[in-house]
Amino acid sequence: MSQLWNTALGDCGVPLRMGEPMSRRTTFRIGGPAEYFACPETPEELRLLLDACKKDGLPYFVLGKGSNLLVGDRGIPGLTIAMERLSAVSVEGETVTAQAGASLTAVCAAARQAGLAGLEFAYGIPGQVGGGVYMNAGAYGGELRDVLVQVEFLDEAGERHVYPVERLEMGYRHSFFTGKGCVILSAVFRLQRDPEGPEAVGARMEEIYRRRREKQPLEWPSAGSTFKRPEGAYAAALIDRCGLKGFRVGGAQVSEKHAGFVINTGEATCADVLALIGEVQRIVKEKTGFVLEPEVRVTGKN
């Protein structure tokens, strides 16, 4: 479907763009165009878009901040739905409720301001709440599942559900949502009042961010850790041990600063990154016996 005349999507009333470059919407700065692209401003608009896709038999892809994504050089077919405008955050007592498109940074800022502890680990993870829940994002000994109470989402049929965390199968960089076509709408987090107030919460967040800056190549486009931690080892240490720091394919490079990150040195394509990932996997397997599984989600056409 390249034209929108006489289609449910074209008639649904939600503003659409054609050919939005995904290189502008991912932290890797890589990816071809989304065939159709929309940023719904209300849950109702989101529903209209999903209904239209169903009627037109069009695939859809839900985009968070694009900070764990590698998008194919030929882009994403169908509709890409960016959640960024569904971004309200509210605090009531020790409970924080956030729409899926809120950044984790905004949620941390709200917690900090209210003097609530528990989300410090997430400070500096550059994703949104929806992407964070989908991935069960975590760092420095914490994971979202530790503070998550419940998640509201639409299933593939467009039915709304609210699941408590116990039903969300949250594991290491995995959740109930992994590989499904659900749309996460909002999440509720339970935190704890810090007796020492906002300043103490803020100080812990700043300390975590300092450690990130020190260790991670934040000055380069990337999607964070490229590989999951294999059982019994650290991906970065294995890659380093194999002498692969600085190893390149085209514009993609294993970071010299942190071997767990693949960075885009400027002109990297998705094909470059995939080839680099394949080579790193092959060499690490050959030299150490460990199998590295990508943490980065790959989508679209290459």
By CB under 6 A, name the binding residues for ligand FAD: 27, 62-69, 83, 100, 125-128, 130-132, 134-135, 137-139, 177, 182-184, 216, 218, 222-224, 297
54-89: b (≥16 Cβ within 10 Å) or e: eebebebbbbbbbbbbbbbbebbbbbbbbbbebbeb
One-letter identity of residue 46:
L
Q: Write the DSSP assignment of 282-297 as a string of letters.
A: HHHHHHH-PPP-B-SE
Closer to ligand FAD by Cβ: residue 42 or 197: 42
Tell me the closest approach of the beta carbon of residue 144 to ligand FAD, in angstroms: 8
The count of other CB atoms within 10 Å of the CB of residue 99 is 21
One-letter identity of residue 148:
L
Token pair 């559900």 is found at 161
Asked whether the beta carbons of 300 and 31 are under 8 A apart, the reply is yes
Decide if 87 is catalytic: no
Tell me the closest approach of the beta carbon of residue 43 to ligand FAD, in angstroms: 11
Closer to ligand FAD by Cβ: residue 27 or 253: 27
Token pair 């050959």 is found at 286
Identified catalytic residue from 23, 175, 225, 255: 225
CB contact set of 126 (below 8 Å; sequence gap of 6+): 27, 65, 67, 103, 104, 105, 224
Contacts 24+ apart (CB under 8 A), 263-268: 263/217, 263/220, 263/221, 263/222, 264/28, 264/29, 264/30, 264/220, 264/221, 264/222, 265/220, 268/28, 268/30
CB contact set of 209 (below 8 Å; sequence gap of 6+): 123, 124
Decide if 225 is catalytic: yes
CB contact set of 165 (below 8 Å; sequence gap of 6+): 145, 148, 149, 150, 151
Q: Distance of CA 177 to CAs 169, 170, 184, 242, Å? A: 9, 9, 8, 34
Identified catalytic residue from 25, 29, 112, 173: 173
Decide if 255 is catalytic: no
Tell me the closest approach of the beta carbon of residue 171 to ligand FAD, in angstroms: 12
Query: Catalytic residue positions?
Result: 173, 225, 295
